[in-house]
C-alpha cells in the first residue's frame, strides 16, 4: 500500500473520537507507527467505521497530543495534567521515542529547582533498589474494605440470602493496585488518574466477590497481615428499599495485605 491509497485529508476515528488531519502529518515521522499505517510498503491494513473514517483502537482523547507532537515536534501539556503515564504508553505504542523522553522528563521538571530534581532522582533510584521483593517485584501494602449487610427474604431468617455488599474499596500505591487487580480495577472515582507513583483510597473493584480479590492478591505474592471489622446492629433509620432486618446487620470490614 502506498500514500496514493489515502486522500490528502484523512478522517480518523480513534477510540470513538473523530479527527481530521493531513496525510503529511501522519507520515511525517518515518519511524512512527502511523507512518507505517498510512504510507510505505509495510502499511498496516486499516479498517473503517460505519461513516467511512479510518478506525484506530486507541485512547481517543490522548491522541490529540500524538498529532500535536507530529505537527510541531514538541509536546505542550495543560497545567495539572494527570495522565502522563497513559500518554507515555500511547507514545510508546505509536513508536515516538522522542515524545517518550519528553514525557519522562516532565516528571522531574516543571517547578522543581535543579537541587530538588537531583534529590528526586536519588529518591527514585533508592526506592527502586530498596522497595523490591526477592523476586524483583515491588513491596508494599494494599487495603481492601467493604460495607455490607445480610439480605433477608419475606420469611426472615428462614429465607436468608447470606452476604450482601455493593462495593469493594481498594487503597494503596497506585502501581501496586494496577499490578494486582488489572482490568477488574475501577479508577473512575479517582481525581488524579494517570500517575502511578502515588497513593490513593479512591479505587474500587468492578465486581463484588471478596474471594476473587483475595485470590488475585495471593497470586501476586501478598499475604494477609491484619483485619478489623465493626457492626452497627442498630435498626435506626432505614434507607428506602432496605429491609429492617438488613439494616440491623450492617457492618464494615477491612483487610490489610502485604508483599515483602
Higher pLDDT among residues 176 and 236, named by residue: 176
**CA separation for the pair 37, 112 (Å, rounded):** 39
Task: Answer for the pair 101, 113: CB distance below 8 angstroms, yes or no.
Answer: no
What percent of the chain lies above the pLDDT cut of 70?
74
Is the pTM value of this prediction over 0.85? no
Residue 92, φ and ψ in degrees, nearest 5: -65, -40
**CA separation for the pair 37, 66 (Å, rounded):** 15
Determine the Cα angle at 24 with ends 19 and 27, to 5°: 90
Residue 159: pLDDT band (50, 70, 90) is low
Question: For the chain, what is the mean pLDDT?
Answer: 81
**CA separation for the pair 130, 153 (Å, rounded):** 53
Residue 95: pLDDT band (50, 70, 90) is very high
Q: What does the pLDDT look like over 32-77, one tens digit per residue? A: 999 988 886 545 578 899 999 999 999 999 999 999 999 998 888 8
Q: Which of 55-69, 185-199, 221-235 has the lowest mean pLDDT?
A: 185-199
Task: Answer for the pair 9, 16: CB distance below 8 angstroms, yes or no.
Answer: no
**CA separation for the pair 180, 139 (Å, rounded):** 12
The structural domains of the chain, ordered by start, are 3-106 (3.30.710.10), 140-259 (no CATH)
Closest by Cα among 94, 104, 36 to 70: 94
Instruction: Please say if the pLDDT value at position 203 is more than 50.
Output: yes
Instruction: Please say if the pLDDT value at position 104 is more than 70.
Output: yes
- SS3 sequence, 1-23? CCHHHCCCEEEEEECCEEEEEEH
Q: Which of 96-105, 112-121, 159-168, 242-251 has the lowest mean pLDDT?
A: 112-121
Residue 166, φ and ψ in degrees, nearest 5: -100, -25
At residue 120, the pLDDT reads 47
List the strands of the sheet with 223-231, edge to edge.
185-186, 199-205, 163-173, 140-150, 251-259, 223-231
At residue 102, the pLDDT reads 86
Q: What does the pLDDT look like over 108-155, one tens digit per residue? A: 455 445 555 555 445 444 444 444 554 567 889 999 999 888 777 666
Pairing of strands 54-56, 9-14: parallel
Amino acid at each position: 500500500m502506498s500514500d496514493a491509497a489515502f486522500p490528502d485529508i484523512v478522517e480518523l476515528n480513534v477510540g470513538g473520537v473523530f479527527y481530521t488531519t493531513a496525510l503529511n502529518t501522519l507520515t511525517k515521522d518515518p519511524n512512527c507507527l502511523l507512518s507505517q499505517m498510512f504510507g510505505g510498503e509495510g502499511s498496516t491494513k486499516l479498517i473503517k467505521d460505519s461513516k467511512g473514517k479510518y478506525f484506530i483502537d486507541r485512547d481517543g482523547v490522548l491522541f490529540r497530543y500524538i498529532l500535536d507532537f507530529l505537527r510541531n515536534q514538541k509536546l505542550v501539556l495543560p497545567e495539572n495534567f494527570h495522565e502522563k503515564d497513559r500518554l507515555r504508553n500511547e507514545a510508546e505504542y505509536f513508536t515516538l521515542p522522542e515524545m517518550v523522553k519528553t514525557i519522562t522528563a516532565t516528571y522531574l521538571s516543571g517547578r522543581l529547582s535543579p537541587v530538588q530534581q537531583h534529590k528526586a532522582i536519588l529518591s527514585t533510584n533508592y526506592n527502586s533498589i530498596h522497595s523490591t521483593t526477592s523476586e524483583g517485584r515491588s513491596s508494599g501494602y494494599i487495603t481492601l474494605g467493604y460495607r455490607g449487610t445480610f439480605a433477608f427474604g419475606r420469611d426472615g431468617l428462614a429465607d436468608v440470602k447470606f452476604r450482601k455488599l455493593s462495593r469493594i474499596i481498594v487503597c494503596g500505591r497506585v502501581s501496586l493496585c494496577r499490578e494486582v487487580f488489572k482490568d477488574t480495577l475501577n479508577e473512575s472515582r479517582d481525581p488524579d488518574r494517570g500517575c502511578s507513583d502515588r497513593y490513593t483510597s479512591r479505587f474500587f473493584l468492578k465486581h463484588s466477590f471478596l474471594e476473587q480479590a483475595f485470590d488475585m492478591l495471593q497470586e501476586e505474592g501478598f499475604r494477609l497481615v491484619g483485619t478489623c471489622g465493626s457492626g452497627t446492629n442498630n435498626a435506626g433509620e432505614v434507607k428506602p428499599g432496605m429491609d429492617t432486618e438488613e439494616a440491623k446487620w450492617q457492618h464494615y470490614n477491612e483487610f490489610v495485605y502485604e508483599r515483602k
